[in-house]
Structure 1
Amino acid sequence: MRSQDYDRLYLSPPHLGRHELNYLHKAIEDNWVAPAGPNLDGFERDICEFTGAEHCVALTSGTAAIHLGLRLLGVGPGDEVLCPSFTFVATANPVLYLGATPIFIDSEADTWNMCPQRLREALEQLCQQGRRPKALLLVHLYGMPAKLRELLALAAEFEIPVLEDAAEALGASYDGRPLGTFGDVGVFSFNGNKILTTSGGGALVTNNSAWAQKTRFWATQAKDAAPYYQHSEVGYNYRLSNLLAGIGRGQMELLEDRVKKRREIYAWYREQLKFVPGLTFGPTEPTGGRSNRWLTTILLNPAETEVTPEQLRLHLENHNIESRPLWKPLHLQPLFTTAPMHGGEVCTNLFQRGLCLPSGTAMEEADLRRVAHAIQAIV
């Protein structure tokens, strides 16, 4: 039976302050409840100021941003896109939207992101076959910077444009530079479980002004410059609303504090659970990388404990504590059974051994102790 002695602890719930209401009230008072408006413009400026990107287009989701980003890079029917297997399906779904094929790459064991060695193997094999991928999709999993130095060097060597999926990584950095600004196009998510939320939403960032203009055009139904509704290209209803952008503006004022708290939660778990048999933490920050520690993740070593991640998840659930398995690799998903895969052992092993712990920034020490005590009682 689930314990009813405590309120439920969620994995990563929204954490709002009073800042958001200021922007929402202003929008309602001024009757700016249409999709466009001052909050939307201001939110995009805030993101540019925080990341250093020259242009930002706020959209309905990170998935929409990946979709339009791949389209900017020219991805279309019959093309191939290199993509990590160890990620959420939203990374790869837009490849299918465009009629292209994902080529999956295994992870490396340090950051859990795309393995540079496996990427080189894939690129060399494709080159020998006279095939050139249209784009490289880089992901910063759980807010952990990928090994960008090696990965970007490979992209440059083989002349492959890069879309940087930083959906989980707003506030993280590499060599002091914000993630999301290393690729030709960068993407963020503001889903309800992210560090910064607009309820639902995302953004595309780029230093290419023509691409930013094109993204806005596509995201507003590709309406031609005419006094009537004329459309020469396929467009989408992808623009973030002025009201939700107001939530984002308030959240941006708190972002640095939120990242600080997530890192503190990770450090607290690591210290309190360091003596639990067979339990380790990951992933590891690369040299020069600073993670936002969006979610604290653990691994269980079957050689040192008989408790499986699923047994631990159910045990926590019985204590009214939400946890979640690590992402199931995409090459193991029924949707992608025919997609090419390079490697697979590392990300499959991580999936089989891992679990995400509650990491919300509103958690207090008593909440963290609940989680720790529940884990110590079974592992």
Structure 2
Amino acid sequence: MKSKVNILLVLTLLLHWNSMFSQGCEAEEPGSSSKDSLSGPTIDIFGYLQPQYDYFFTDGDQDNTFRFKRARVGVRGEVLDDFSYYFMLETSPFIGSTGDAYLMDAFITYNADNWARISLGSFKQPFSLDVSTPCNQLKTIERSVVADQLISPQRDFGVAVFGGNKYNRLNYSVALMNGRGLGVKDDNVKKDITGRATYKIIRNLTVGASFRYGYPIPNNNEDDRTTYGAEFLLELNRFAVQGEYIYDEGAYFAGAGGGCGATPIALGKERDGAYILASYDVSEKFQPVFKYEYFDADINIKDNLGYSERMTLGFNYFVNDKVRFQVNYLANIETVVNVNNDALLTQVQVRF
């Protein structure tokens, strides 16, 4: 029997979108700003490396490999008081279809007001707490399966408006996007609309909701797709827990790929998934984490092969704010056909 915990929480507050750069993959530190005491244009070179070793517990010879999860470098800054820019390349040969370096984020932001920061270019879709969390701040090495499979493409070309900051209870974001992903020319006349809103109910508890409506199939202006998401984040001193439920229906295009380089799974007409993630800061350096998640590729078929569950157990060790070690054991659970496919992932991250 499938074990599902459908998280149904409503509303709004965008914890990871608290600066004009935060729709990129490298969010600003809380309370920071790109403004400084110098006049004129500014430029900041930044990035991070994530070399990784993966060991898979399969039948026969055990697959194992060294690779880069991500290897990113970018520049950002201001050209005028109200105009900023952000540009990032992915150079890891293990992400993308060709193995070559390619454009991840590139956008210009006009900071008209706290409630109207307007960005134009290439950036993440404003959907889901998991997707909006910067890649270098994820508490587990892998994003949730449901986010990687259903929020695809995670990056796209478009225009977005962001409102609110970390001092406001309410934050929102809404975007009009091509719907085709990076490195692909828009090939239909329809656009996708995506939005996310969060609200801090009390000091420690934030809830949120996301929505997307679009046309994912190339050269097709008829077949649409609708996606809903609900989330929460609870932070109590050293303990934190977050959860998310995502439901998706309608057309989809496997050629868009999965998020963070994941291999896309064949989907039915309706699909959903959820996760819950808990962490505890034993000290400033050591943080154990646990995540449970499920993903159902076709909720209309009982005991389908696309249904899976996963438990992730591991820890993060912070040498300082620039160097982090991650160790995760992924226990994959298939309810129809049992497959030996657990994995042990280890990663070192250095930010600069």
The TM-score bracket by the shorter chain reads: under 0.3
Which structure has the bigger radius of gyration? 1
Higher relative contact order (CA 8 A, sep 6+): 1
Between structures 1 and 2, the one with greater strand share: 2
Q: TM-score, normalised by structure 2?
A: 0.23
Between structures 1 and 2, the one with greater helix share: 1
